[in-house]
Structures are given as structure tokens and as C-alpha cells.
Structure 1
Amino acid sequence: MSTITTRDGTEIYYKDWGSKDAQPIVFHHGWPLSADDWDNQMLFFLEQGYRVIAHDRRGHGRSTQTATGNEMDTYAADVAELAAALDLTNAVHIGHSTGGGEVAHYVARAEPGRVAKAVLIGAVPPVMVKSETNPGGLPIEVFDGFRAALVANRAQFYIDVPTGPFYGFNRAGASVSQGAIDNWWRQGMMGGAKAHYDCIKAFSETDFTEDLKAIDVPVLILHGDDDQIVPIADSALLAAKLVKHGTLKIYEGLPHGMCTTHPDIINPDLLAFIKG
């Protein structure tokens, strides 16, 4: 397997396909998944002539099942180490859900020349949890419920999420894919319970407001208006107002996991932005 070892001894697994001379596209997955969640997009952009890279966040997939460092500062530092190890320049960083937070946190801190553009898809920024300064957020009890379900029966929780709200399979008339549900469960159960538990705090309570303001490259923000995991009103609609060079595209009726359910719609829009 291809891995790098970070400064704290964590092994980060990654895939790296395509010519090393091609423009790199780096994919950042959501919680509690892995690089495998990007298979469709990686194959699509490989065919378009790009170098495609996806890593398993620490504690997820094939990376070390870490007990510590499961927060955004370390996630972004891991990405910086991966970018340096692979000597990535002029890269496009695409993040879904938690991965969108990772992208914002990394891109705001990236070395000059490393990043050309960024894409946030169904992403958690600016901040998910409700507070006095974020009255439209989700109550902390929602995330406490996630933690309780993970502790009680992680395997069942990781069936319930994709079967229901993640892909919108709980909506009337939805075209349900058992393969997508099984693949979500497979990816989730590969990771570490402690890291996944910690990551709930990382994706729900990290405030990415200053990250979004600091990003100087073009940012594409994609969100389904039927996203039941990261509600659009308190995420994409706010994030689009904070970035300097942002483009917002809203997809009517599409769910949180729309890269899996509707790649025929999402992939061409990603390609147009990267080429544009």
C-alpha cells in the first residue's frame, strides 16, 4: 500500500493515479468513510487526463486507527505533509462533508503555489453546531445522539445512516442502491471507533469562518437543497458569502451523498470549474 508516515508516526494511506506531470486533483472524503468514496470521480478525472489523489484521513480506512490527533488542525497538517511528500503544486482540492472542512482548513494555510482551486461539496463550513453566534445550526443534542449511537452499536448505526438520510433513500420514490449502502458500511467499519467518535466533534464544532475568509483561490460550493445531513441554510448559503472568489451552485432535490447518487450531474460541473 502507498502510505506516508507523519511527524507523530501516523501512517496515512493514499491512492495516486495518473501522470505525475498532470494537474493534480486531491479528494477529501466525509465521515466516517475513506478514499474509496471517490472511486467514481477518480476514474472520471483520470480519463480526463488529470492526476488524481485521495487519502484515508487518520483513523479512517487503511490509515492508522489513531487515538489522538483526531481534529481539524491535525487533519490539515496531515494533508500538508502529504502534499509535500508528493510535491503537489497547482492542485485542485475537492472535499465532501467533513472533507470540505478539511479542505477549507488546509487551503487557508497551504504553502504558496500548492493550491489552484478548491471545491466544497455538501460541506460542513462555516460551523454546524448551534450557538449564540450560529443560531441556525443544529443543536448539540443531534451530535450527542451520533456519539451515543456509535458507542451503542456502531455497526447498526453505519447501516442506518446510508439507508436513510445520507443518500436520501428515505424519501418517497428514491432509487435505493443496496450496493451504495453496503459500500458505506464497509468503508465505515474499516476505520477506528475512537477516531470516528472524536471526528464528530471535529466536523460539528470546528468554526471555519476565518478559514473561508482567508482563502484566496477560486472556490466552488456545491450543495443539494435536500441535504438532510448538512442543512444548506446554515452551510453553503453562509459559506458562499464568506469566500472572496466563490461560486455557489444548488441542486434541487439532491441529497448529501450526491456524488454517489448523481455523478452524471456532479462530475461535469466539477470538470467545467477546474477547466474554467
Structure 2
Amino acid sequence: MPYFEGSDGAQLYYKDWGSGPPVVFSHGWPLSSDAWDVELKLLADNGFRAIAHDRRGHGRSEDTWTGNDMDTYAADLAALVDGLGLSDVVVVGHSTGGGEAVRYAARHGAGRVRKVVTVGAIPPVMVRSDTNPEGTPLSVFDEIRANVLADRSQYWKELALPFYGFNREGAVLSQGLVDHFWLQGMHAGLAPAYDCVRAFSETDLTDDLKALDVPILIAHGDDDQIVPIHDAAAKAIELVRYGTLRVYPGASHGIHGEYQKQLGRDLLEFIRS
């Protein structure tokens, strides 16, 4: 399996499919690059080089005790892009990966990144504070951490339901998708999964959004129960200079079904434009 050295030498797994202009994907918590497989194949089939890595402590990457924070995640992404000698890169991030992509582009991407795409992403900041009174209370994230510690196997099964909107009236449950979420979650190390909660909830990416000088597509489902659109995309679009907001009616946090198909079409159109 292909590995690269992260910013501190950690051994991190990546996929590299197809050839052509590079598009680099960052996944959400607690998943792995496998969450992007459909999009990776779509891009590779359409003449792009599609690349995705497993974040440190997730998937097949090294289970690190340190570095489970947004600055290191972005530095790891820089190590991947630099190590592969990529230029004119499009970076795509879902959820936590959206924060990673934005911080990477703002702090490491000058001269390398030509476009950014976020999907159901965490920027600008999730947790409630004096400067973000509409945010999610810290107690919610404390509960997530407690569930990860107590019985993360059961928690992944339960979390998959709101993640994909399967708890909504009339939703058709895909047990296979729930099982795949659980499987990816179980490949995340305990410490990295626990520490990542702080990374995705408390990292303030406001200045990173303001610093972007390339086009950004901000995609978000309006029934996202994990990263509510009013706390994220609706605020992020006001902070960027060259942003396009794409709202998907009824779409969940997890990318699947008709949402996935439309997102794929929009992704191709934005990258090609």
C-alpha cells in the first residue's frame, strides 16, 4: 500500500487514482479515504488524478498519539501535495476534512491551490462562545467524547443514523451504509478519534476563510444534523471573496443517494470551469 510521511514523519496512507489535473480529497470524522471512493472513481473516470489520504490515526494511517489537531492535519496535507509534486491543485474536504482543506489552502496552498470545495464542512467554527453565540454548546461535544470513550463501537452504529438522515420520517435505511460507517469508524484509533472532536469543534477557521484568494464552492445539505447549515455554510459564504454556495434541499451530512449524484455533477462542473 502507498504511504507518505506526514509533517512529523508519521506514516500516512493514500490513494492515487487516474491521471490528469490533480484533485485531493480530505475525509470527515471518524471515517477514512474510503468515504470518497465514489467521487474518486468519478473524477478518475473523467480525466482527473484523484487522490485521498487517511488522516493520521484514521483508516490505514499510523495511530498517532500527537498531532491530532487542525494545524497538523493541514501540514500533513501539505506534505502529501509537496511529496507528490502537485501543482494547480483542487482540494475537496467533507466535514472535518473541509476545515483541513481550508486551513491547508490558506496557510500552505499559495501557488499550488487553484480551487477549494467544502461539503458539509465545519468552517468557520462550531462551538458556542462569546464571539459565536449561535454555535453548538460545548456540552454536546463533551457528550460525543464520553460516547467515544465508553463504547465507540455502539456509538458509531447510533451516529450513522443522523449522519445519513436515516432517523427522519420516511427515510429508507441502508444497513450496508451504516455498516460501512461503523467499519471505517472502528479503524480510527481511540486517542485520535477523541482528540479530533476538539479539532473539528473548537478550531476557528474564520481568518482562513478570509485569507482564501481562490474560488471556493461551499456545498451543504439543508437537513444536515451533524454540522447545521446555519452554523457553517451560511456563515462561511459571507467570509470568502470568491465563493459559491450550493444548498441541497433535504440532504443529510453523509453523502449518499441523490445528494451524492448531484454533488458529483456539481463537483465536475466547478472543477472544469
Normalising by the residue count of structure 2, what TM-score does the alignment of the two structures yield?
A: 0.98
Q: Distance in 1 between matches of 2:255 and 2:62?
A: 28
Paired position in structure 1 for 2:196: 199
CA contact (8 A) 2:122 2:227 kept: yes
Unpaired stretches in structure 1, ≥5 consecutive residues? none
* Alpha-carbon shift at residue 112 of structure 1 (Å): 2.9
Paired position in structure 2 for 1:61: 59
SS in 2 for 1:53: strand
Match for 2:253 among 244, 252, 256? 256
Which residue type is aligned with residue 156 of structure 1?
Q
SS in 1 for 2:108: coil
Paired position in structure 1 for 2:133: 135
Paired position in structure 1 for 2:29: 31
CA contact (8 A) 2:126 2:135 kept: yes
- Describe how 1:170-185 pairs up with structure 2 within 5 A: 170-185=167-182
Name the Cα RMSD after superposition: 1.0
CA contact (8 A) 1:259 1:266 kept: no
Residues 109-147 of structure 1 show CA distances to partners (whole Å, capped at 9, x for unaligned) of 124321110001000000000011001100000000000
Paired position in structure 2 for 1:158: 156
SS in 2 for 1:254: coil
Q: Distance in 2 between matches of 1:148 and 1:38?
A: 28
Paired position in structure 1 for 2:75: 77
CA contact (8 A) 1:56 1:63 kept: yes
Which residue type is aligned with residue 204 of structure 2?
D
CA contact (8 A) 2:116 2:216 kept: yes
- Describe how 1:166-245 pairs up with structure 2 within 5 A: 166-245=163-242
SS in 2 for 1:262: helix
Q: Distance in 2 between matches of 1:90 and 1:49?
A: 15
CA contact (8 A) 1:69 1:75 kept: yes
Unpaired stretches in structure 2, ≥5 consecutive residues? none
Residues 3-41 of structure 1 show CA distances to partners (whole Å, capped at 9, x for unaligned) of 01234231010001112xx10111100001000000110
SS in 1 for 2:159: helix
User: What percent identity do the matched residue pairs reach?
Assistant: 56
Query: How many residues align structurally?
Result: 273
Which residue type is aligned with residue 18 of structure 1?
G
Paired position in structure 2 for 1:4: 4
Which residue type is aligned with residue 179 of structure 1?
G
Q: Distance in 1 between matches of 2:109 and 2:159?
A: 36
SS in 1 for 2:238: helix
Which of 1-10 and 257-266 deviates more?
257-266
* Alpha-carbon shift at residue 257 of structure 1 (Å): 0.7
Q: Decide whether aligned partners of structure 1 residues 13 and 197 sit closer, same or farther in structure 2, where only a CA change above 3 A counts.
A: same
* Alpha-carbon shift at residue 188 of structure 1 (Å): 0.8
Moved over 3 A (4+): none
Which residue type is aligned with residue 186 of structure 1?
L
Residues 37-67 of structure 1 show CA distances to partners (whole Å, capped at 9, x for unaligned) of 0011011111101000000000110001011
